[in-house]
Amino acid sequence: MGNIIMAAAIVVASVVFFINSFGFPIVGNAVSAGFWPRIVSFLLFITSSMATWEAIKIYRRELAKESREQRKERIKSSPDYFPWGMKRMIGTCVLFGLYMEFGLNNIGFILSTVPFVAALTIWLGNKKYWQAILNSIFTTAACTVLFCKIMMIPLPRGTGIFRTFSLLFY
DSSP string, the chain: -HHHHHHHHHHHHHHHHHHHGGGS---TTS--TTHHHHHHHHHHHHHHHHHHHHHHHHHHHHHHHS-HHHHHHHHHHSTTSHHHHHHHHHHHHHHHHHIIIIIIIII-HHHHHHHHHHHHHHHTT---HHHHHHHHHHHHHHHHIIIIIIS-------STHHHHHHHTT-
Same domain, 31 and 94: no
Identify whether 100 is part of a domain.
Answer: yes
Identify whether 135 is part of a domain.
Answer: yes
Identify whether 75 is part of a domain.
Answer: no
Same domain, 50 and 93: no
Identify whether 129 is part of a domain.
Answer: yes
- Tell me the pTM: 0.51
Same domain, 102 and 150: yes
Same domain, 21 and 88: no
Same domain, 46 and 105: no
Taking only the tens of pLDDT, the chain with its 170 residues reads 778 888 889 999 999 988 888 887 776 666 677 778 888 899 999 999 999 999 888 888 877 776 767 767 766 666 555 555 667 778 888 888 888 888 888 888 888 999 999 988 888 778 888 999 999 999 999 998 888 888 888 888 888 888 888 878 77
Identify whether 156 is part of a domain.
Answer: yes
Same domain, 9 and 52: yes
Count of domains forming the chain? 2
Parent domain of 99: 82-167
